[in-house]
Structure 1
Amino acid sequence: MTIEEIVRRSSDPAIVFQLYQTIETIRKQRQIANLHRVVRYMEREFNCPPKECLQYLHQVVTDSLIVETVTVGCKGSKAGIEQEGYWIPDKEALLERISEESHDWYCFECHKPGKVISCSTCFRVYHKLCLDKPKNLHNFKCVWCKANEKPANEQERLALGKSLYFVVTQQKDYWTELAKKPDEEEHPYYNFFVHTHCDLERLQMDCHNCVFRSNEEFLAKALLIHHNYAVALGADHSLTNLAQQFVEDCEHELQELKLCRNCFYLSNTKPMKDWFCKPCDPPHQVVWAKQKGFDFWPAKVIRVEDERIDVRFFGRHHPRAWITIEAVRNISVSPATLKVKRKQHWKQACDEMKEYIRQCECALGKDEASKIILSDSPYGIGKNAKLLAAMEKVNRSSPTSNHSTPVKTTAEADVNGSVVVDDEENEAKSDILDDSEIVDENNHLATEIPSETKDKSDSPPAKRIKLEEVTVISKPISVRRSFDSEEQTILSELKQNNCGCKARYEAILMRFKDYVIESNRLDKSKMMRAAAIKSEHELDEVRSQVVAEYEDKIKELKEKHEEELREAKLRNWCRVCLEETPSPCCKNVNRCADCKDKQPSDVSMTSSQRKRRSGRSKS
């Protein structure tokens, strides 16, 4: 079967949107969108030349995205004259016709129309120039369909679906705008240009149902989201840019997932405290790695490239870094020979590394777990022969390479069953730099004293440091001290019998006096600063306490006032003298016993009216 290049659509979606806007504007003015008005509006608003506008109109009408009709004018100079009119097609009829299409209309690579080649197994189409050197067009399959040809069993698909579901859930929380279909009010013509819609909700549902058989199939769906927005909304739209960033994030996450699925899932979920110590499948090689400005640190080898190594360090935050082979040492090299400062974080990282090796022993067995500490480990640098040779060369050329001992993995022996020397023993051994090391017939590390030193009876006896299955013999080292310029001056004066001790003592006393004065001044300023800070804190506490008491008092008075007001409303009050009365004299008028004989007119008046009346009577 030969796949030919065909033109599925020839009009650019951006031009179609401009023509839609032109037709809508003309129709709102209660005019027919004829050729003259459309060309004039396009030239005025979008700087489109008339010839190009005519060409665009022909392409859009051919694609059935605009309906061309012939109508008769009913007013003005066009009355009774036939003229062409352009209309936006009916939405339901156009969508029904679009749903019958089997393939997309725009290139999946560049999102443009034109002559395209259709994939024989999916809906995607491509320009011939956008393909990567197609050998032939017989039964053409796109790169995504070729990537999915490899069958996947049920267990692999379930594990992949679990990891991909976690990826989509994270991305959905971050890219909320891509979770649903665009709003129809803002983008009413979105469905005119999108063949197969996809959003993060559908992608999440597919991951939950374990539909995907490979990472490439998932990435193709993510690219479909970007393709739809680029076609329907334009390459410069904000949603298109968000979709592009989403695709880049997915590519990064899939790359991490491809490196190690266990590390990816554990590093993102952190289901337990010692998640970094859990062995992966396959496990990672353990090495000493060094970054600029830091000491050698235990790390896992994540991946190996031509000249770089991607490692992840043990410790609190488990950072990752790309390092060169010169900054890597075999884990069997003693930390003392690497001149490591044994700080608390470094010791915690080493403890975590030992726990990782122990769990690898439990999960894989000692024979298999012993490979993760080898310099030619098949789980790390051993995969790259060039890097392995460079690492061995660096270890041989290192000045501290002769002082190497196996790393401690368990209480008594490492995974190979070899002798283990702990950190304190390594420190003691690293101080002996003048001895020549040899290995005896029992494979124990020892040093020999030169014969000249043994024959001398005046020299003090040599110190013998006995380690666990390791014997190190050290000889005393003679130290020759050099004098500075001031001491040499004193010695020369003593030789000339010109002591000068008094002047020197006075100078020392003056320096000491200045030191005491300066230290007292610093201590005094420090104490004053501490007292000022303390008084300020006390003042803040007192201020906050006073404010709290004031607020409590105001609240108490307010509650008391409201209670009194409620009680006053429940009592009976005389409407004439405004005094409290035990009971009203009748049901309709509240009057006390003294005011019950007054005229009803006086009773019905309010207090303000009575005051005005009394004022007029006095005047």
Structure 2
Amino acid sequence: MSEKRFEIDSKLTLTTETDDCTPLEGRESQSWFVFAVWRQILELDSSAATLKAVFKSINYEKSKRNFDHSIKIAVNDGLIENKNGLLSICGETRSLTHDWYCFRCFKPAKIILKCNGCERVYHDSCRCFCDERKKCFYCQTRIQEPIRKKLLTKDEINDAIDLVFSKLKSSYSSLMQKSTLKHESEVLTRHVTKLLCKPHFNFSLIEAKVTNTEYQSFFEFATDCKTISYNLNVLYGPESEIGKQCEEMYNFVLKEIELLSYCVECYIRSFHKKRDDHYYWFIMP
């Protein structure tokens, strides 16, 4: 079940009108490059490091000229300071009021479009706004649609999500740990607020929402998983191993929700019925 399929299932009309969002002056530096440079600065020295030393220590596949150009862009964005070849992390840590990087492709842009209903931003080519409420696809309030003509209670919705989450924990435990950023230094994680609007949103918060029966729809759960994927992609890049795991994880969630949309009871029973370590969809009660 692709993200596009999810959009079609939502029955929302997507629009390209210009009054459905707020254009903002964006950033042009790649967030994962900035994050990697920050890490190297802190590993080489607690406050600053030479441009040459950072280039040698960072795993940068392009030329020194490209590296210098990327540093210049990050300096212009106010994320890195370069004083005569001495690099340091720029500015004070503060909470953002909106994202800086496209929620769909994770990349920066000189002009970015902000949703009027949430903190998310998009490229013009990535926009997915609803023309009725002028909010993006992901911040729409969704009531769970009936499944097999049956309206699900919040308990039933969260019980089903709990099973999906159990599978997530089994298959993506390392990704869940990385979402907490505990593998990064405490100093580095303090600066993440310059890159992410919700830097502390991780799988433990999703688990808490399931435990407290807070989810009102499967879509809401999938959107939270997408938010975690967004955070990790912004920090590490979609081409990184973590970025690829995030894409796989999110597609897994969409697939499980598609299975739930056929029959929740069948899904629950199949979860508890297995043979030779394989779960069976159609089983006898």
The TM-score with structure 2 as length reference comes to: 0.71
AA partner of residue 33 (structure 1): T
Residues of 2 paired with 1:206 and 1:251: CA distance? 18
Q: Which residue of 1 aligns with 2:170?
A: 173
Residues of 2 paired with 1:163 and 1:39: CA distance? 48
1:61 aligns with 2:75: yes
Q: Superposition pairs for residues 207-222 of structure 1, below 5 Å? A: 207-222=210-225
Residues of 2 paired with 1:112 and 1:259: CA distance? 35
For structure 1, which runs of at least 5 residues remain unmatched after alignment? 70-82, 271-316, 321-348, 357-619
Q: Which residue of 1 aligns with 2:33?
A: 15
Residues of 1 paired with 2:203 and 2:43: CA distance? 35
SS of equivalent to 1:117: strand
Q: Superposition pairs for residues 473-552 of structure 1, below 5 Å? A: none
SS of equivalent to 1:118: strand
Q: Which residue of 1 aligns with 2:156?
A: 159
AA partner of residue 181 (structure 2): P
The answer to whether the 8 A contact 2:48-2:88 is kept is no
Flag the structure with larger Rg: 1
Identity %: 20
Name which of 180, 204, 221 aligns with 1:201.
Answer: 204
Residues of 2 paired with 1:20 and 1:8: CA distance? 20
Q: 1:18 to 1:185 in 2, by over 3 A?
A: closer
Comparing 207-216 with 101-110, greater Cα deviation is found at 207-216
AA partner of residue 254 (structure 1): I
Q: Deviation at 1:103?
A: 1.4
| Residues 54-108 of structure 1: CA deviation (Å, up to 9, x unaligned) | 5433321233211345xxxxxxxxxxxxx57432247xx32xx2x1x22111111
SS of equivalent to 2:220: helix
AA partner of residue 183 (structure 1): K
Q: Which residue of 1 aligns with 2:240?
A: 237
| Residues 223-259 of structure 1: CA deviation (Å, up to 9, x unaligned) | 1122111111122333333322222221121111111
Q: Superposition pairs for residues 189-338 of structure 1, below 5 Å? A: 189-190=188-189, 191=192, 192-196=194-198, 197-270=200-273
For structure 2, which runs of at least 5 residues remain unmatched after alignment? 1-18, 274-278
The answer to whether the 8 A contact 2:162-2:210 is kept is yes
Q: Deviation at 1:189?
A: 3.6
SS of equivalent to 1:202: helix
Q: Deviation at 1:25?
A: 8.0
The answer to whether the 8 A contact 1:67-1:89 is kept is yes
AA partner of residue 109 (structure 1): R
AA partner of residue 119 (structure 1): C
Residues of 1 paired with 2:268 and 2:251: CA distance? 19
Q: Deviation at 1:131?
A: 2.5
Q: Which residue of 1 aligns with 2:119?
A: 123
The answer to whether the 8 A contact 1:212-1:218 is kept is yes
Q: Which residue of 2 aligns with 1:141?
A: 135
Q: Deviation at 1:182?
A: 2.5
Residues of 2 paired with 1:215 and 1:23: CA distance? 41
Q: 1:31 to 1:256 in 2, by over 3 A?
A: closer
Q: 1:256 to 1:46 in 2, by over 3 A?
A: closer
Residues of 2 paired with 1:144 and 1:33: CA distance? 42
Q: Which residue of 2 aligns with 1:333?
A: none
Q: 1:187 to 1:108 in 2, by over 3 A?
A: farther
Q: Which residue of 1 aligns with 2:63?
A: 48
Q: 1:145 to 1:14 in 2, by over 3 A?
A: closer
| Residues 314-372 of structure 1: CA deviation (Å, up to 9, x unaligned) | xxx9666xxxxxxxxxxxxxxxxxxxxxxxxxxxx9xx6xxx8xxxxxxxxxxxxxxxx
Q: 1:39 to 1:236 in 2, by over 3 A?
A: closer
Residues of 2 paired with 1:248 and 1:187: CA distance? 31
Residues of 1 paired with 2:75 and 2:89: CA distance? 10
The answer to whether the 8 A contact 2:266-2:281 is kept is no
Q: Deviation at 1:145?
A: 2.4
Residues of 1 paired with 2:222 and 2:138: CA distance? 9
The answer to whether the 8 A contact 2:222-2:254 is kept is yes
AA partner of residue 87 (structure 2): Y
Residues of 1 paired with 2:202 and 2:54: CA distance? 37
Residues of 2 paired with 1:32 and 1:24: CA distance? 8
Q: Superposition pairs for residues 317-396 of structure 1, below 5 Å? A: none
Residues of 2 paired with 1:224 and 1:232: CA distance? 13
Aligned residues: 251
| Residues 464-491 of structure 1: CA deviation (Å, up to 9, x unaligned) | xxxxxxxxxxxxxxxxxxxxxxxxxxxx
Q: 1:174 to 1:61 in 2, by over 3 A?
A: same
Q: 1:39 to 1:48 in 2, by over 3 A?
A: farther
Q: 1:122 to 1:25 in 2, by over 3 A?
A: closer
AA partner of residue 88 (structure 1): I
Residues of 2 paired with 1:251 and 1:40: CA distance? 39
Q: Deviation at 1:124?
A: 1.6
Residues of 2 paired with 1:202 and 1:157: CA distance? 18
Q: Which residue of 2 aligns with 1:5?
A: 23
Q: Deviation at 1:127?
A: 0.9
AA partner of residue 182 (structure 2): D
Q: Deviation at 1:218?
A: 0.9
Residues of 2 paired with 1:27 and 1:318: CA distance? 55
The answer to whether the 8 A contact 1:27-1:33 is kept is no
The answer to whether the 8 A contact 1:66-1:87 is kept is yes
Q: 1:53 to 1:268 in 2, by over 3 A?
A: closer
Q: Deviation at 1:151?
A: 7.8
1:86 aligns with 2:81: no
Residues of 2 paired with 1:167 and 1:268: CA distance? 9
The TM-score with structure 1 as length reference comes to: 0.35
Residues of 1 paired with 2:120 and 2:231: CA distance? 12
1:112 aligns with 2:107: yes
| Aligned-CA RMSD value | 3.9
